[in-house]
Structure 1
């Protein structure tokens, strides 16, 4: 029933999309894109997907060739997806990690995220091959953890927050953290660019090889720019943080009490990372089939099976409980 409710919200716009659950693989200070080879990155991330995730993520080695399991409900998806994690800052300036919870239809999920791959939101199904799935070795980042202003945040389209009144709330979306307690938690929305240069699987900043449409938006089928002519699926993360448990602890001055693990109390530094890892051409088959939620060409596994796939922290560190500072000593600014 929950899946039907969500689909009803999306149905006027979505002609085809994959929507699936990926539970947490590990939560630790590791970022093989921004800090490759570094045992601990500056701030904590939550990672989902295949268990080939490691310190370097060598682009010449396909995750699907190394992974033995995935936290995702599509069993052929050994990609890795990661974001920062959210902390509650108490009145005495101590910090506690905010737990995550499953999305609509995925209530059994062990935290993690909901992942979407959408080939088109235009009317009518796309012809086969009109949207090109990501290739082996592809990776990208969207957002910038150093940003602290609305003007900066607007450089990226659709990195937003939804203050959940209930689990089916999907609007409005804001660029900064909600300014009042949210009855069902805060949903963090990360949407990636949908145009590719067709050549480079990565770029030095992990962004320049992809682009937003040259005009319009992905939602109204805006055209890709000549520099990035290849249409790729819209990759979209939804993460729900169970902030409602802190509703009675908001500051008396009305300021909001949440801070990203990289020290951002504004929300404008929202960002996400992606390393492609689907097995063979399974994702392309799904895009060509214009799958809607369920996708017969793909192999699936239960959420319970995905929850069994996990990693230990590469460097043991306490990231939970009440902390006197953010892990890594990240300043709040």
Structure 2
């Protein structure tokens, strides 16, 4: 039987590193396990926040809870202040693989159930994907050890699908002040960032907000700009929660097992909340779409620009991810996909020139 603890009815989520997060916190509902006789939440048509109601490869009883094995216990959120380092990050540069109306997190085992998504990283990702099917798979990420699946709603200009070209930038950062406390993702962790059902105001107040939609000299747009200069690109950046409860790889709604760092009272320090004490890398999507000019016909498969959200399913090779996290995040470096910081060549690289462990 799966052991379940009641979640908080609401979790205050606040600021993150001033150098990386501009948005201010909001309140995120945390799902409690379903009680006998209480109807399960109704799934939204099209995507996220749905509650799994059918068995799937990683969730055989279909209750939406996928326990970590083993769970991480006995962790206290770190409020230590190590020597300041402006950067503590590395990149995962991953190209688009394909598009499909699938979502193996929200609608596992149900092909065609979701709105259209643009997938990056693992080339096999589809509605049937599981931890076992992804790990060790082929990938378009520069580091062959990153077989993770990354996806977001597809972008259209009228009826034409517009795909990001070339490797996209996915940062792995420290979201807490004590960057030395960050540990690698557990195998099989998955979550959704944002929601296609969010309002414009909710998108702007989301703790993962960075600068909204931007092109040319236009920044902090909640929806798509009306016009983008010829030759420019449409860009979006959004950060993910980086504090884990240590118990579940997924939960109904696909968010309550994760939380954003909070500001410690009386300080400017960012720490994980006690309910989610395990500090993990903070993923930041930095996507660039090759579209310019009149933007009046630009929309997402999920709706308006403020419906932007994305999904992450961890399938990293564990030694490779550990090497990058320890060298770049814990080591306070600004690394590329090899784990190399050009401003600190004396530190060397975590990976070889083939982006593999030496």
Q: Same fold (TM over 0.5)?
A: yes
The equivalences for 1:102-141 within 5 A come to 109=166, 113-119=168-174, 126-127=179-180, 130-141=181-192
Instruction: Give secondary structure in 1 for the equivalent of 2:115.
Output: coil
Structure 2 contact 213–223 (Cα < 8 Å) conserved: no
Structure 1 contact 191–234 (Cα < 8 Å) conserved: yes
Instruction: Give secondary structure in 2 for the equivalent of 1:15.
Output: coil
Distance 2:241 2:253 in 1: 14
Instruction: Give secondary structure in 2 for the equivalent of 1:292.
Output: coil
Superimposed CA distance per residue, residues 110-139 of structure 1 (whole angstroms, 9 cap, x where no aligned partner): xx52111113585xx843xx1011111100
Residue 297 of structure 2 is matched in structure 1 by 257
Residue 284 of structure 1 is matched in structure 2 by 322
1:87 matched to 2:156? The reply is: yes
1:232 matched to 2:296? The reply is: no
Superimposed CA distance per residue, residues 144-193 of structure 1 (whole angstroms, 9 cap, x where no aligned partner): 1122331365244316534222xxx7x83333222332441210212101
Residue 181 of structure 1 is matched in structure 2 by 228
**Pairing partner for 1:275 from 307, 313, 321:** 313
Q: Compared with structure 1, are the counterparts of its residues 194 and 202 closer, same or farther at alpha carbon in structure 2 (3 Å cutoff)?
A: same
**Pairing partner for 2:351 from 298, 319, 323:** 298
Residue 149 of structure 1 is matched in structure 2 by 200
Instruction: Give secondary structure in 2 for the equivalent of 1:100.
Output: coil
Structure 1 contact 15–121 (Cα < 8 Å) conserved: no
List gaps (5 residues or longer) in structure 2.
Answer: 1-18, 21-83, 340-348
Superimposed CA distance per residue, residues 14-61 of structure 1 (whole angstroms, 9 cap, x where no aligned partner): 4221124211111121111111111213311111112342322224x2
Residue 134 of structure 2 is matched in structure 1 by 63
Residue 40 of structure 2 is matched in structure 1 by none
Distance 1:27 1:57 in 2: 14
Q: Compared with structure 1, are the counterparts of its residues 300 and 190 closer, same or farther at alpha carbon in structure 2 (3 Å cutoff)?
A: farther
Superimposed CA distance per residue, residues 64-117 of structure 1 (whole angstroms, 9 cap, x where no aligned partner): 24x1x210011210001000111113xxxxx2222423xxxxxxx2xx521111
The equivalences for 1:26-41 within 5 A come to 26-41=98-113
Structure 1 contact 16–121 (Cα < 8 Å) conserved: no
The CA deviation at 1:276 is 0.2
Specify which structure has the bigger relative contact order, considering alpha-carbon pairs within 8 angstroms and separated by 6 or more residues: 1
Distance 2:100 2:354 in 1: 25
Distance 1:212 1:173 in 2: 21
Structure 1 contact 120–221 (Cα < 8 Å) conserved: no
Structure 1 contact 15–120 (Cα < 8 Å) conserved: no
Q: Compared with structure 1, are the counterparts of its residues 19 and 221 closer, same or farther at alpha carbon in structure 2 (3 Å cutoff)?
A: farther
Superimposed CA distance per residue, residues 241-298 of structure 1 (whole angstroms, 9 cap, x where no aligned partner): 1121xx1x45xxxxx3311012x13x11110000001112321221111252241223
Structure 2 contact 187–315 (Cα < 8 Å) conserved: yes
Instruction: Give secondary structure in 1 for the equivalent of 2:157.
Output: strand
**Pairing partner for 1:24 from 87, 93, 96:** 96
Question: TM-score, length-normalised on structure 1?
Answer: 0.69
